[in-house]
Amino acid sequence: MAFENLSERIQKALRNLTGKGKISEEDINAASREIRLALLEADVNFKVVKDFIKKIKQEALGKEVQESLNPGQQVIKIVNEELTKMMGESATTLTKSKHIPTIVMMVGLQGTGKTTTVGKLAYHLQKTEHARPLLIAGDIYRPAAVDQLKQIGQQLNVPVYSEENEKDVSQIVARGLAEADKNKNDYVLIDTAGRLEIDEPLMEELEKVKAVAHPDNILLVVDAMTGQAATDVAKGFDERLDVTGVILTKLDGDTRGGAALSIRAVTGKPIIYTGQGEKLTDLEDFHPDRMASRILG
Ligand code: GDP
């Protein structure tokens, strides 16, 4: 399970503080050191870790904590609050368009889970809002991706717009949007191509799709298993496309959790959903406070 190691180590560092009538600066320093190492080992961005530890120390050494009846508990509360802030404070939802359809463009590197996540989001919207989404197959370089999306569409009973011979994805997207207008779909979810790494042709194509689609949401799909590298990728996509939010996939795996903890601080963009498995039902809203509590046990 994600965060297991991190969770265990932070809990251990904090356990040493609870039950003490008074905690000294040395106690705080020792706990901070442990937490710092645990975060770095979990692959959290080093600058994020540095800022975090600074804040914890500042607050934990404050007069109120030192003079409270249970300083150890106060420190745990501070760590919880700061972890929550690191991940974005409160939950963020999709931006809804004033007029239907609300358009969501899914971007990300190959294999991160874009196509699967388009399906998961369609299901989520069906279930929570009785939505009638239309999916557009914009990953045309991988024929398997188009088939995969069509299969998902069949499973969910959701229309999938695709074309076989068009090489210009933005044209497919434009016609897909016209189709959605005709059918009065309330959401359009656009799957796009990915590469193994960020390259210029991909970015140009995505910019073109963005210009045609005017998406209300550009969601960057990031594989949590890629750790630290995930934040660099996120920065790269964000600089070119100004993404509106992040979906962190594969959090069900044995990830160290660093991406979840750093991505908000590094990019300023909120995590909106997490992928917790391969099935279409495995998408969850992201709540920073609940994630912090899960880590602190
Ligand atoms: P794309 O290339 O970005 O479109 O990626 P795909 O949607 O084809 O997904 C790549 C692989 O990751 C597939 O085997 C998916 O089943 C798997 N996958 C996607 N999301 C998750 C997730 O949240 N958890 C797990 N365990 N696997 C996932």
CA-nearest of 220, 221, 227 to 3 is 227
Q: Which atom of ligand 1 lies nearest, measured to the CA of 283?
A: 23
Distance CA 176, CA 188 (A): 9
**Residue 226 has what pLDDT?**
85
CA of 93 to the centre of ligand 1 (A): 22
In short, whether 115's Cβ falls inside 6 Å of ligand 1 is yes
Q: Are 136 and 189 in contact (CB under 8 A)?
A: yes
Checking DSSP bridges between strand 271-275 and strand 217-223, what pairing results, if any?
unpaired
Report the C-alpha gap between 209 and 215 in whole angstroms: 9
Q: What is the pLDDT of residues 198-224, one digit of tens each?
A: 899 999 999 999 999 999 999 999 998
Q: For 49-94, what is each residue's pLDDT tens digit? A: 999 999 999 998 887 777 777 888 888 999 999 999 999 988 999 9
pLDDT for the residue numbered 158: 98
Whether 114 lines ligand 1, by a CB cut-off of 6 Å, is yes
User: Which band of pLDDT confidence, cut at 50, 70 and 90, is reported for residue 247?
Assistant: very high
Tokens at 161, concatenated? 């717009």
pLDDT value, residue 72: 84
Residue 20 has a pLDDT of: 75
Q: What is the pLDDT of residue 1?
A: 62
What is the distance in A from the centroid of ligand 1 to the CA of 261? Answer: 21
Which of 107, 116, 237 most suits a substitution to test ligand 1, by most atoms within 8 Å of the C-beta? 116
Residues 126-130 have a mean pLDDT of 97
- How far apart are the C-alpha atoms of 265 and 157, rounded to whole Å? 38
pLDDT of residue 232: 87
Is 114 known as a binding-site position?
Answer: yes
The pLDDT tens digits of the residues spanning 266-286 come to 899 999 999 999 999 999 999
Q: Provide the percentage of residues in the chain whose pLDDT is more than 90.
A: 70
Q: What's the mean per-residue pLDDT of the chain?
A: 92
Cα(220) to ligand 1 centroid in Å equals 14
- What atom in ligand 1 is closest to the CA of residue 120? 20
Residue 159 pLDDT exceeds 70: yes
**Is the CB of 192 within 6 Å of ligand 1?**
no
CB 97 within 8 A of CB 180: no
Q: Report in angstroms the alpha-carbon separations of 212 from 32, 137, 163, 205.
A: 49, 15, 17, 11
**Poorest-pLDDT segment among 4-8, 114-118, 254-258:** 254-258
Name which of 4-8, 68-72, 89-93, 158-162 the model is least confident about.
68-72
Q: Is 109 annotated to bind ligand?
A: yes
What separation in Å is there between the alpha carbon of 223 and the centre of ligand 1?
Answer: 9
Determine the average pLDDT of the residues in 170-183. 98
CB of 110 closer than 6 angstroms to any ligand 1 atom: yes
Q: Is 116 in the pocket of ligand 1 (CB under 6 A)?
A: yes
Give yes or no for residue 250 CB within 6 A of ligand 1.
Answer: yes
For residue 35, pLDDT beyond 70 = yes
User: Is the C-beta atom of 249 inside 6 A of ligand 1?
Assistant: yes
Q: Is the CB of 284 within 6 Å of ligand 1?
A: no
In this predicted structure, what is the pLDDT of residue 4? 84
Per residue in 181-201, pLDDT tens?
Answer: 999 999 999 999 998 888 999
